[in-house]
Structure 1
Amino acid sequence: MERMALVSDVHGNLTAYEAVLDDIERRGIERVLNLGDYVGKGPRGREVVELSQQRCEVNLLGNWDDFLPDPERTIDDEALRFWLAQLGPGQGEWLRSLPFCHDFWLSGRRVRLFHASEQSVHRRVRYVRSQAEFESLFANTEATGDGPAPDLIGYADTHDPMYEVQLEGRAVFNTGSVGNCMGDPTPMYCILEGELGSEEVAPWSVAYVRVPYDVEAELAVAREMEMPQYDMYELELVQGIYRGHIDAWRAGEPLTGYHER
């Protein structure tokens, strides 16, 4: 049985990432796969990219990794300029060149990992979604390429962990987020276990791990670096409330679940 750790959506939160990688190492897991969104929101995208290059066997493209360093985009937002400036030489090109998805066999299941959906890193599939959206996740597209159709999908993007299985044994799971998980902001990653590379049916599992970390140390770095949108970052890391709800939260309005937006 092989174990692999799936991490995603670190978003420049180096303190949380180091805590998660330390936990993975303590468990003796050597394979680490990153499902994207290394940069943006948090202050230390450069260090997160460097650590991912060193520690991750597979690195996939996320939506932030695609649009933030796009040389054809004009960036007129202070926060975006800050996050872009944090990248080291060549890191923007490395991010945009990352593969879209990663396919492999595990205990007789064809697994496909990607960041957001089968179509694009910019198309989001929420926990609350249509049946058509669920079924489309298993399709081969121009982005995924051809090959055996998957029956186990792992993705990220929404910062909202979930697991769902339907008829024919097709299952979907979301890894949650290392850098700013919603609801419970404690960093989260997945452990996928099974007979790696085997087309023979065998036991397999997916487990979720929460890793406490020094959130105040991370926020202190953001303040020291005078990172734009600090209040929004603090709201996500401390309260687990999406930054788009900051005005409603300040006004004391009741908030619906993040997955519904």
Structure 2
Amino acid sequence: MTIQQRIAVIADVHSNILALDAVLNDIDRQGIQQICNLGDSVYGPMEPAQTAQRLIDRRILSIRGNQDRVMLEPRQPSPHSTYDEVLADLQPQHMQWLIDLPEYRILHEDIYACHGNPRSDDIPLLEKIMPDGVHMRSDQELLEMLHGIEQTVILCAHTHVPCTRYLPDGRLIINPGSVGLPAYEDDLPYEHGMESYSPHAKYAVLEHGAAGWSVTHHLIPYDWEAAARQAEYRQRPDWAVALRTGRAHPL
């Protein structure tokens, strides 16, 4: 086993530099040199510019998430808009970094990395959002969504909830969870909440051995109270609740 056969997978940092640094310190402690970032890095009411700069300075292999993409699209300014605040914080080099990010990557010829699913950055791969809530997709649905993807390991993100799923054809789908935002609510395509039920910063490690890939999910403590106070200062009490509890609603 060589160190190059271990890959740390991070996603959905959402401007939370405190959580990102805690995760990077844990990855460094293990001696893992390769990191893959599945996107949605800078949107959020904490430290978008610092987060982007950290990822750039560390030369972390990254892809573009749906909210990274939205940062590049024209929009009308609105009062107390988190998007506007993020754009005001980001510097030209950070915007260029976002522009240059690919929508997907293939690692080691065996790993396919996307943000949502291979055809859409804002539709989850593992879960489907229905009027009555969030449901796991069937094996058949997943096989159809992965048609044409030859890799045996598929990395996805977007829902912020850690999960590893084994398919009948032997492939693995891995969502590492969110580094920086452990829960959220959304109204598209229907109102729903995604909750990890813990405030820890989350990531995954893939390790290749003689029998194939093993997966370890990590939950890292950090000063989530400080992150929550940053969100409150920037008028996002909903984020503060999620950061403190891993839930979309107060306990």
Shared fold (TM-score, shorter chain, > 0.5): yes
Cα deviations across residues 72-112 of structure 1 (Å, max 9, x unaligned)? 23243522211221211232232132011111347xxx211
TM-superposition CA deviations, 1:61-81 (whole Å, max 9, x none): 1111100232x2324352221
Aligned-partner SS, 2:106: strand
SS, match of residue 46 in structure 2:
coil
Shift of 1:55: 1.6
* Residue range with higher mean Cα deviation, 4-13 or 75-84: 75-84
Counterpart of 2:198 in structure 1 is 184
TM-score (normalised: structure 2):
0.82
Whole-angstrom distance in 1 between the partners of 2:63 and 2:141: 21
Letter in 2 for 1:129: R
Query: Can you list the C-alpha shifts for 1:4-37, whole angstroms capped at 9, x where unaligned?
Result: 1111101011111101101111111111111101
SS in 2 for 1:191: strand
Give deviations 1:23-66, integer Å, cap 9, x for gaps. Answer: 11111111111110111223101111111112244111111110
What is residue 146 of structure 2 aligned with on the other side?
138
RMSD: 2.1
Question: Which whole-Å CA distance do the structure 1 matches of 2:138 and 2:156 have between them?
Answer: 17
Check conservation: 2:40, 2:65, Cα contact below 8 A: yes
Aligned to 1:215: 224
Q: In 2, Cα distance between the equivalents of 1:42 and 1:6?
A: 23
Q: Deviations over 1:173-195 (max 9, x none)?
A: 11101001222221111111116
Structure 1 CA distance for aligned equivalents of residues 139 and 170 of structure 2: 15
- Which has more strand, going by share of residues? 2
TM-superposed deviation, 1:132: 4.6
Distance 1:97 1:75, change over 3 A: farther
Q: Which moved more, 1:128-137 or 1:153-162?
A: 128-137
Tell me by how many angstroms 1:154 deviates: 1.0
What is the CA–CA distance in structure 2 between the aligned matches of 1:241 and 1:219, rounded to whole Å? Answer: 13
Q: Letter of the aligned partner of 2:170 in structure 1?
A: G
Task: Tell me the residue number matched to 2:132.
Answer: none
> Any residues of structure 2 matched to 1:79-228 within 5 Å, and which?
79-105=82-108, 110-125=110-125, 126=127, 128-140=136-148, 149-181=150-182, 182-194=196-208, 202-223=211-232, 226-228=233-235
Do the aligned residues in 1 keep the contact of 2:12 with 2:178 (CA within 8 Å)? yes
- Preserved contact between residue 191 and residue 206 of structure 1 (Cα < 8 Å): yes
The aligned amino acid for 2:69 is: D
Partner Cα distance (2:228, 2:96) in 1? 28
1:131-187 Cα deviation digits (max 9, x unpaired): 4541134234xxxxxxx6122211111001111112120221111010012222211
1:168 and 1:211 map into 2 onto residues whose CA distance is 32
**1:202, CA displacement in angstroms?**
4.6
Alpha carbons 1:75, 1:81 under 8 Å: kept: yes
SS at match of 1:178: coil
Aligned residues: 226
Alpha-carbon spacing, 1:130–1:76, altered in 2? closer, same or farther (3 Å): farther
Of residues 97-106 and 50-59 in structure 1, the stretch that sits farther from structure 2 once superposed is 97-106
In structure 2, the partner of 1:65 is: 68
Task: Give 2:242's aligned residue.
Answer: 236
Q: Is the 8 A contact 1:180 1:237 kept in 2?
A: yes
For 1:239, the aligned partner's letter is T
Q: Distance in 1 between matches of 2:153 and 2:235?
A: 39
| Shift in alpha-carbon separation, 1:57–1:137, aligned structure 2, 3 A | farther
3-state SS of paired residue (2:92)? coil
Instruction: Report the CA distance between 1:240 and its aligned residue.
Output: 1.0
Q: Is the 8 A contact 1:192 1:207 kept in 2?
A: yes
CA shift for structure 1 position 215? 1.2
Kept after mapping to 1: 8 A contact 2:202/2:218: yes
The answer to whether the 8 A contact 2:64-2:101 is kept is: yes
Q: Secondary structure at the residue paired with 2:136?
A: coil
Structure 1 unaligned regions, length at least 5 = 141-147, 196-200, 253-261
Q: Identity of aligned pairs, percent?
A: 30
Structure 1 ranges of 4+ moved more than 6 A: none
